[in-house]
Structure 1
Amino acid sequence: MGSFVKSIEYLKALSGHATTFYDAEMLTLYWETKPEIIAKLLPPPLKPAKRPLVHAFVANYPKTSFAPPYKEAGLFILADYNGELGMYCLSMPITDGMGMAMGREICGLPKKMSDISFEKNDNVLKASVSRHGIEFFNITASLNDKFNESDAKSIIDEYSPDDLPYFNVKYSKAIDGSGFDLPPTLVKQSITKDYKVTKDAEVRINMIDSPTDPWTELEVVRVLGGVYTVSTNVLLKGTVLEQIPPMTYLPYAQIKWDF
C-alpha cells in the first residue's frame, strides 16, 4: 500500500539512483543571433561569450529511470562565468508532470507543460513545440550528414562540446509574492552521453511569436545546422556557484511563469 509518508530507508535507497535517459532520441540545432540579444538575456554574474551562439533541442525519451516516456525541448544561450563557458537555459517545454517538477525544484530549470511532436521518417525529422494553442517552434531536419554552414562543426566543437555544463538559477518565491524566500542561486550541472547514433543535419527553423514563450526573441542571424543523436544520458549531480543579489536577478526571474 502506498503512503504520503516515505521511510528514511526508502529515501536513502532512492538517493543512490542515477537520473538516466535510456536511448534518448534528440535533435540539437545551433544558430547565431545578435550579441546584444545575448547580453540582454543573461543575468549577472553570467556574461556573453565571444560567440552569440544559441542551441535548442527537441527530444523523445522512450525510457527513463524516474518517469514514464515523455518528450522535451530546450532553448539555451552561450554564457561565460569567470572564464568558464556554459549554456544558460531560457526555456524547457516538457510533456510530463514529474519530469517538470524534478527539473524545476532540483535543477532550477524553467520547465513548462507543453505539447511536443517528434517524428522521424527515414532521413527526415520534423518536430514542433506548442503551448496555449500557439506552435511557436517548428523545425525540419534532413539527416544527410551535412550542416547548413561549412564552419558549423568547428564552431560547435569549440563553443558547445559534449562536456559543456549548464547554468541555471534556483530560487523560492516569497509567500506574499513580493520577492524571494530563498535568495537566487547560480548552479551548474552536466550530462554524460553514451552515443549509439550521430548524424549531422541541415535544418529549417520556423518560429512564431508567443507572449508566454518568446523564442523569437533569439533572432536567427545564421543557422549553423543540427545533430541527430540516439544516446543514453546521465544527469550528474549539480554544484552551487554563488548567490545572486535578489534585486539584480528579479527582472530575469519570470522565465518559469506565464506573465
Structure 2
Amino acid sequence: MTPDEVLRHAATPLRTPVYPVRATRFTDREYLNVVYRTDPDALRAVVPEPLRIDEPLVRFEVMRMGDVDGYGPYVESGQAIPVTLDGQPGEYLHAMYLDSFAATVSGRELSAYPKVYGSAALRVDHGALVGTLDHGAERVATATMAYKWDALDLQEAAAEITVPTFMVKIVPDVTTGRLLTAQLVRTQIVDITVTEAWTGPARLQLFAHALAPMADLPVLEVVRASHITTDLTLSPVQTVHDYLGER
C-alpha cells in the first residue's frame, strides 16, 4: 500500500471500515427530553469558553435510533447544556453514552461527539415513557414522562432539537502528547421531519457514578419535557474557535 493509498483511507483500521464517511441519516429517531434547572456554579465548571450560559439549564435526553444508515439501531443518552456563542443560541454537548462501537468511534473521530460506553433504554411502562441509562450493572439515570399526554406543536418540537450544537475536538500527538487539535466545533441537524411530538409531566433521577458523572449537574427542578419522533440528518462539523490559536 503506497502512502497515497494510506491517505485515501479515512479511519483506523485501514482495511476494515467501521463506519461510512458521509453525513448520517436517521430514520424513526425517538427522543425523550427532560429539561431541568441545575446548580449554576456546576455548569460554569464544565462549559468551555467562549460559550456563555444564560440560564442554569440542562437537557437530559434518551434517543432510540430506529434505523441509522451504516450503523443500524441503537439507544443513546446524554446531557446537553443551553448556551450562546456571540449571541447565537445553541447547546453544548456535555456527555453522551451508548453501546454502539461504530457510532462511538465515528462520533469521536469524524466529529467531536463526547461519546463513551453506556447502556441506554427507552420503553413504555404502564402509561409512562421510561428512559434509563446504566454503566455496567449500575443505574446512572432514570427519566419518566406521562406517555402521549398533551400534543406538542411539531414546529416547536423541531426547534427544540435543531439548535446549533457545540463540542470540543481534542487530538493529541501520539509521540509528544502535545495537542495537535483543540477546537470548538459546531454542527446542526438538517433535513428534519417531525412525525409526532408530545409533552407532559416528567421526573428525572441522576445517580452518582465516577465514570458517568451526570449527577455532577444535579436536578433542582424539572422545567419541561418532550417526546419526539423524527427523521433527520446530521451535518458535518465546522470549526468556530481554535484554542491553540490563542497561544
- What TM-score do you get using the length of structure 2 for normalisation? 0.83
Query: Residue 236 of structure 1 corresponds to which residue in structure 2?
Result: 235
Q: Which residue number in structure 2 is paired with residue 30 of structure 1?
A: 35
Within-5 A mapping of 1:188-227: 188-192=186-190, 193-227=192-226
Partner residue in 2 for 1:43: 48
Q: Secondary structure of the residue that 1:47 maps to in structure 2?
A: coil
SS of residue paired to 2:174: coil
Aligned ranges 1:25-174 → 2 under 5 Å = 25-48=30-53, 50-121=54-125, 123-145=127-149, 161-174=160-173
- Paired residues in the alignment total 229
Per-residue CA deviations over 1:238-258 (Å, capped at 9, x if unaligned) read 21102114999xxxxxxxxxx
Q: What residue identity is the alignment partner of 1:186?
A: L
- 1:2-58, CA deviations, whole angstroms, 9 ceiling, x for partnerless residues? xxx8996xxxxx66x54111011111110111222221111122222x211110110
Distance 1:146 1:51 in 2: 26
User: Contact 1:18–1:65 at 8 Å: present in 2 too?
Assistant: no
State the distance in 2 between where 1:194 and 1:31 align: 26
Change (3 A) 1:240 1:36: same
Change (3 A) 1:172 1:212: same
The range that moved more, 227-236 or 137-146, is 137-146
* Displacement after TM superposition at 1:161 (Å): 3.4
Q: Distance in 1 between matches of 2:144 and 2:161?
A: 23
- The 3-state SS of whatever aligns with 2:50 is coil
Contact 2:76 2:119 in 1 (8 A): no
Determine the C-alpha separation between the residues in 1 that align with 2:177 and 2:197: 47
Residue type of the partner of 1:208?
Answer: F
SS in 2 for 1:22: strand
- When structure 1 is superposed on structure 2, of 114-123 and 100-109 the one drifting more is 114-123
Distance 1:83 1:247 in 2: 21
Q: Distance in 1 between matches of 2:106 and 2:28?
A: 20
Q: Deviations over 1:178-197 (max 9, x none)?
A: 442x1211100001331111
Give yes or no for contact 1:28–1:57 (8 Å, CA) kept in 2.
Answer: yes
Counterparts in 2 of 1:243 and 1:195: CA distance versus 1, 3 Å = same
2:80–2:91 Cα contact (<8 Å) kept? yes
| Offset, 1:133 | 2.5
Query: Hey, what's the Cα distance between the residues in 1 that align with 2:121 and 2:209?
Result: 18
Q: CA RMSD in A?
A: 2.9
Give the secondary-structure state (helix, strand or coil) at the position aligned to 1:62.
Answer: strand
One-letter amino acid of the structure 1 residue matched with residue 189 of structure 2? I
The 8 Å contact of residues 32 and 52 in structure 1, kept in 2 or not, is answered as yes
The Cα offsets for residues 83-110 of structure 1, whole Å up to 9 and x where unpaired, read as 1121111110012111111111122111
Gaps of 5+ in 2: 9-19
Residues 112 and 54 from structure 1, CA distance in 2 versus in 1: closer, same or farther, beyond 3 angstroms? same
C-alpha distance in 2, partners of 1:177/1:166?
31
- SS in structure 2 at match of 1:46: coil
Kindly state the Cα deviation for residue 176 of structure 1 after the two structures are TM-superposed. 4.6
Partner of 1:24, secondary structure, is: strand
